[in-house]
């Protein structure tokens, strides 16, 4: 916080630290993409209102926390419990959707599906031009809130870590150099945030046209992957390549899902219809 207070004094002599700024930009982009994925998922599958309310509340919480506790909060890197809770909830929720999507893909999902009927009714209402109320969904708000808060805290850590350690790399450490590094890190993170939001706004419309089951399948894979990754970190597992390891986790779940669908499908075809007298 002290370094932030120095900013007005050094604005006149601000010289960007490109190394710190770039590092902060790249690292923050990864965190923003992670947070935005969950916001997008909640928006597409529950509703946009709940998703935005959760994200906005998280942003306000983050701002309040930083305003009250300042750098002291950000230097305490004890997010494990938070990561663990968010991770477990995401895995459970992701698996629920993944299970349904896999059952549908393999033709095993029961024909009388209340959710499908609900979706049909929604589609019919939409087709007739009837406005569907965007009711605030508590779970959607909480999911969006927790993910944005968690990733927001991580961005704050990145900014502080790069901002404060960047200026210590040289032999001479002074307040001006520290403020320069911190400002560069903040600018890098801010650019990353804006870019990810713009990118998300562009892909939002095409994603809305993806079929319901495909969307639930992808969402199931994403939530399960993020949940496993964050939950693992919460348990104390250090992923060797950091956030890059999310990709093999996603790949493993995708591959397993395709295998599961293939295993379930032949049975559906080869299995003889049960005799009418049975049951």
Partner 1 sequence: MQQIIGFPRAVYNFIVGDPIILTGVLVFFVVIGIITHVSKSLSTMANVTLGVVLIAGVILSLVLALYRETKPKQG
Binding footprint of partner 1 on the chain (CB under 8 A): 84, 88-89, 91-93, 95-96, 98-99, 102-103, 108, 139, 224, 228, 231-232, 235-240, 245, 249, 252-253, 256, 260, 264, 267, 271, 279
CB of 219 to partner 1, least distance (A): 14
CB of 206 to partner 1, least distance (A): 28
The smaller minimum CB distance to partner 1, of residues 211 and 236, is found at 236
Task: Give the nearer residue to partner 1 in terms of CB position, either 181 or 224.
Answer: 224
Angstrom distances, CA of residue 250 to CA of 93, 153, 256, 275? 16, 24, 10, 42
Q: Are 78 and 208 in contact (CB under 8 A)?
A: no
| Least Cβ distance, residue 164 to partner 1 (angstroms) | 25
Whichever of 203 and 237 has its CB closer to partner 1, that residue is: 237
CA distances from 12 to 7, 188, 211, 268 (A): 9, 19, 54, 72
Question: Are the C-beta atoms of residues 88 and 235 closer than 8 Å to each other?
Answer: no
Residue ranges of E strands in 45-195:
none
Please report how close the Cβ of residue 30 comes to partner 1 at its closest, in angstroms: 18
Whichever of 62 and 89 has its CB closer to partner 1, that residue is: 89
Taking the complex as a whole, the smallest distance from the CB of residue 240 to partner 1 amounts, in Å, to 6
Q: How far is residue 260's CA from residue 268's CA, in Å, rounded to a whole number? A: 13
Round to whole Å and give the CA distance between 150 and 137.
Answer: 20
Dihedral sign of CA atoms 68, 71, 76, 80 in order: positive
CB nearer partner 1, residue 12 or residue 240: 240
């Amino acid at each position: 916080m002290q370094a932030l207070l120095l900013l007005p004094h050094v604005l006149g002599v601000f010289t960007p630290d490109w190394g710190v700024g770039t590092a902060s930009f790249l690292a923050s982009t990864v965190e923003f993409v992670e947070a935005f994925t969950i916001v997008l998922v909640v928006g597409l599958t529950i509703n946009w209102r709940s998703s935005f309310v959760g994200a906005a509340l998280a942003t306000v919480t983050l701002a309040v926390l930083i305003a009250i506790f300042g750098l002291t909060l950000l230097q305490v890197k004890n997010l494990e419990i938070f990561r663990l809770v968010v991770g477990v909830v995401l895995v459970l929720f992701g698996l629920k959707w993944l299970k349904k999507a896999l059952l549908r893909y393999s033709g095993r999902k029961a024909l009388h599906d209340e959710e499908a009927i609900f979706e049909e009714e929604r589609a019919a209402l939409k087709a007739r031009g009837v406005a569907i109320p965007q009711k605030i969904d508590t779970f959607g708000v909480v999911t969006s809130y927790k993910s944005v808060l968690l990733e927001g805290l991580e961005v704050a850590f990145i900014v502080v870590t790069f901002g404060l350690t960047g200026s210590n790399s040289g032999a001479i450490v002074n307040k001006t150099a520290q403020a320069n590094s911190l400002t560069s890190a903040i600018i890098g993170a801010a650019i990353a945030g804006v870019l990810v939001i713009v990118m998300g706004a562009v892909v939002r419309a095409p994603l809305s046209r993806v079929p319901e089951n495909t969307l639930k399948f992808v969402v199931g894979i994403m939530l399960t992957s993020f949940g496993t990754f964050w939950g693992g970190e919460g348990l104390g597992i250090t992923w060797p390549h950091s956030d890059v390891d999310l990709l093999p986790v996603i790949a493993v779940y995708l591959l397993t899902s395709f295998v599961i669908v293939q295993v379930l499908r032949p049975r559906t075809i080869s299995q003889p219809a049960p005799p009418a007298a049975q049951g």
